Amino acid sequence: MTHTTIPVGGERPYDVLVGRDLLAALPPLLPGAAQVAVLYAGPLKDYATRVADALAGAGTAPLPLELPDAEAGKNVEVAARCWDALGAANFTRTDAVVGVGGGAVTDVAGFVAACWLRGVRVVQVPTSLLGMVDAAVGGKTGVNIAAGKNLVGAFHPPAGVLCDLSTLDTLPPVDLVAGLAEVVKCGFIADPAILDLIERDGAAALQELIERSVRVKARVVSEDLRESGLREILNYGHTLGHAIEKHEGYAWRHGHAISVGLVFAAALGRHSGRLAPHIADRHRNVLTALGLPVRYPAEAWPDLRAAMRVDKKARGATLRFVVLDDLARPAILESPSDELLEAAYAEVAS
């Protein structure tokens, strides 16, 4: 078992392990658990069986629970079915949950754990790139409801996160590429060495890209679990990105929408006179080189503009955007004029 350990601080510190063959590290993360529910979706069935075997081998009874895949499993009804299963198995306060899968599964697994007996331990085993660098780290959990995505949830930091790189071997290439948008974001907001690596080798140095991105997220959430300040910088590119996801009825991958959103945010920085043009251009170049989209239809603008008004980062009627003053120097742009927004959108409009 060779891996890198990245600590996440805060009230309840934990480690993110990045490497291969990490399952031996799982049982020690849950001392005293007699039973552990293993939540997974169909594509991860084989790996979830290995997770269950690792628990059983250490004397802990696994309770495998298969969920509907992706967003279909991320809702209150599915969470309630899990709670029923925990109830039927007499899960106690010292028992625990493991989430094995992409961000949808780890989000719902975290939420199930956050609510069961008002909070039991969860270990996240993300198997998508987005899950590893974003969803499984930081303690945000939740489900979708009819009124919108991620509207119901809880902050519930995990007891540990295991990023087993061998799981990425089966991840569809399109999902791997989509996850790279968050990696690029981390490069721009905090760690430009990520950009250098991608410009040199694409995604070849995947382990280092993951480790660096996890470190960025770990640093931010260690200081600001509840998104009262610093954590907002993780939303770079997300204001337009979320509006695109909504416009697409969530049929676009998150990373694709964020990619367009990053180019838009860079353009906002440039048009407001804060960001040097060559750094703004670098956004488009890096994302394009990875095969990520950087354009969106011009005629969608009125819808996107309206959707951004109700984005989570809008406080009251004020629109807020994360922009860059320079590489690794994020800042907040409040209430940009319509002219500025339109000029920035013109740079992504097709």
Ligand X SMILES: NC(=O)c1ccc[n+]([C@@H]2O[C@H](COP(=O)([O-])OP(=O)(O)OC[C@H]3O[C@@H](n4cnc5c(N)ncnc54)[C@H](O)[C@@H]3O)[C@@H](O)[C@H]2O)c1
Interface residues with ligand X (CB under 6 A) are: 41, 43-44, 69-71, 74, 101-105, 107, 127-128, 130-131, 134-135, 138, 140, 150, 167-168, 170-171, 175, 254
Pairing between β-strand 148-155 and β-strand 140-145 as defined by DSSP bridges: antiparallel
Q: Give the nearer residue to ligand X in terms of CB position, either 94 or 222.
A: 222
Mutual orientation of helices 238-247 and 301-309 as an angle, nearest 10°? 120
Q: Give the nearer residue to ligand X in terms of CB position, either 134 or 311.
A: 134
Q: How far apart are CA 236 and CA 216, in angstroms?
A: 13
Q: Give the nearer residue to ligand X in terms of CB position, either 74 or 270.
A: 74
Q: Give the nearer residue to ligand X in terms of CB position, either 167 or 213.
A: 167
Full 3-state SS string of the chain: CCEEEEEECCCCCEEEEEECCCHHHHHHHCCCCCEEEEEEEHHHHHHHHHHHHHHHHCCCEEEEEEECCHHHHCEHHHHHHHHHHHHHCCCCCCCEEEEEECHHHHHHHHHHHHHHHHCCEEEEEECCHHHHHHHCCCCEEEEEECCEEEEEEEECCCCEEEEEHHHHHHCCHHHHHHHHHHHHHHHHHCCCHHHHHHHHHCCCCHHHHHHHHHHHHHHHHHHCCCCCCHHHHHHCCHHHHHHHHHHCCCCCCHHHHHHHHHHHHHHHHHHCCCCCHHHHHHHHHHHHHCCCCCCECHHHHHHHHHHHHCCCCCECCECEEEEEEECCEEEEEECCCHHHHHHHHHCCEC
Closest distance to ligand X from the beta carbon of 4 (Å): 19
Q: Give the nearer residue to ligand X in terms of CB position, either 37 or 100.
A: 100
Q: Give the nearer residue to ligand X in terms of CB position, either 94 or 207.
A: 207
Closest distance to ligand X from the beta carbon of 172 (Å): 6
Q: Give the nearer residue to ligand X in terms of CB position, either 142 or 269.
A: 142
Q: Give the nearer residue to ligand X in terms of CB position, either 67 or 344.
A: 67
